Amino acid sequence: MSSRTNFDASKLPNNLPEVAKMTAQLVALKSTDPGSYEEEIETFIKTWIVNSCSFSLPNKKEMFPIIQEVEVFPHRRCLRATIPSATTSFDSSTLPPSDLTFICHMDTVTDGDGWDSETPAFNPVYKDGLLYGRGSCDMKGGLACALLAFRDACQTCKTQKTLPQKSLSVIFTVDEEANMRGVERVIDAGWVGEKGWVLDAEPTNNAIRGSHKGRTWFKITVTGITAHASTPWKGADAIAAMAIVINEIRTAVQSLPTHPELGSSTVTFGQILGGYQPYVVPDKAELWVDMRLAPPTTTQAAERIVQQAIKRAQTEICGTHASYDITGNRPSVVLPKDSELLAQLLSCAESCNTPAKLDIFTGYTDTAVIASTCRNTECMSYGPGELERAHKPNEYVPVEDLTRVYRVFKSLIKSTICDF
């Protein structure tokens, strides 16, 4: 069943920039994770690339750009479109990582509650310079910028009747808002690797963001012995033991060393379950923990903190037993200050009269996975919108931001890829 809403593009102003109209089209394709997922939007993007970007060249049997897909889950595919370099011999099934890759995720978080009636989640509205809708900021606006900049590069190749000296790809991933299995599949497919510049279009508040804290998740389980609340000494209180675990972890994380760029490590106890009734000693409690770790703290160090907290709880609340699982492990990433992509991107932003600053990324992105997994030091984020608007009701992206990032992306491609 189609997830398309009753979006009427004619309700948008005629003079709205092309990049804003493309963003609106993408927002209207519901691709929530969980929910509708990415099948419809991936099909739309692939069809649009075929219709808007295709070109052929003399003495070349292939049609360009070269399109590849990999399935991550049933009906959930990552997509790649590539303009290979003029000097590289290639097989369309084994294209190497490109010199420059834009990577954008197609999924969004669910719409959630709190949307105003005049700015519905999946029927884009333009008002006072802002384009509203779920995903407009995170990150269909950035996806539109990358898609149109790639289209322009294809048109340049068609006009020049040749391939560029360096290769260019756009990659569209699934599952970024959940477990990031899409970008992991992209890595396994060899679409990205240790070499090549990789830029995602996450909302960055006119900043270039490359450094990330690590993200380590734990599930902690405490078991005890049930008893009547009037005779608690006959039981073992699992929730009381979990309270000790929480306090010990919180205290330990607060004492961890700080990093000059990324600051302090943090911990959030995001979910806890346990107990039956107020008058029953609980025999089980479960806790989910999110740690954001700044260097030099690693997952191994965090694991030792959890082990010590469990040991303390078991000692103080006799009869309880605790265990843990690591449910997520993403190492920290520190962007080198001598990054070539960083220097080029700063230069392009300056030449477009929209100078950018350098900042950290407080979340975790597809490019962070690539940087940490592939040991690629040329991975970062730059895109339209404010990071603080992501995942909230009445999400929006300033149209001025869309046009700014689109110009910078075109400048980056022209200065590094399509300079024939």
Residue 96, pLDDT above cutoff 90:
yes
Q: Which two tokens stand for residue 263?
A: 């600051």
Domain covering 9-212+332-418 assigned CATH 3.40.630.10 in the classification: yes
Average pLDDT of 281-287?
98
Asked if residue 390 lies in contact with residue 384, where contact means CB atoms within 8 angstroms, the answer is no
User: With 0-12 CB in 10 A as exposed, 13-18 as middle and 19+ as buried, what is 394?
Assistant: middle
Class of the 214-330 domain? alpha beta
SS3 71: strand
Question: Does pTM top 0.75 for this prediction?
Answer: yes
Average pLDDT of 183-189?
98
Residue 87, pLDDT above cutoff 70:
yes
Q: DSSP of 160-219, one letter per residue?
A: HTS--SS-EEEEEES-TTTT-HHHHHHHHTTSS-SSSEEEE----TTEEEEEE-EEEEEE
What are the tens digits of pLDDT across the range 196-245? 999 999 999 999 999 999 999 999 999 999 999 999 999 999 999 999 99
What is the end-to-end Cα distance of the chain in Å, rounded?
Answer: 45
Residue 385, pLDDT above cutoff 80:
yes
Q: Which of 110, 234, 102 is nearest to 172 (CA)?
A: 102
Phi, psi of 171 (to 5 degrees): -125, 140
Residue 91, pLDDT above cutoff 50:
yes
Average pLDDT of 78-106?
90
Average pLDDT over the chain, rounded to whole? 95
What are the tens digits of pLDDT across the range 199-211? 999 999 999 999 9
Indicate the pLDDT class of residue 82, thresholds 50, 70 and 90.
Answer: very high
Residue 3, pLDDT above cutoff 70:
no
In angstroms, rounded to a whole number, what is the distance separating the alpha carbons of residues 332 and 351? 31
In angstroms, rounded to a whole number, what is the distance separating the alpha carbons of residues 80 and 66? 8
Each domain of the chain, given as residue ranges in start order, spans 9-212+332-418, 214-330
Is-cis flag, bond preceding 65, omega within 30? yes
- HEC sequence for 314-338: HHHCCCCEEEEEEEEEECCECCCCC
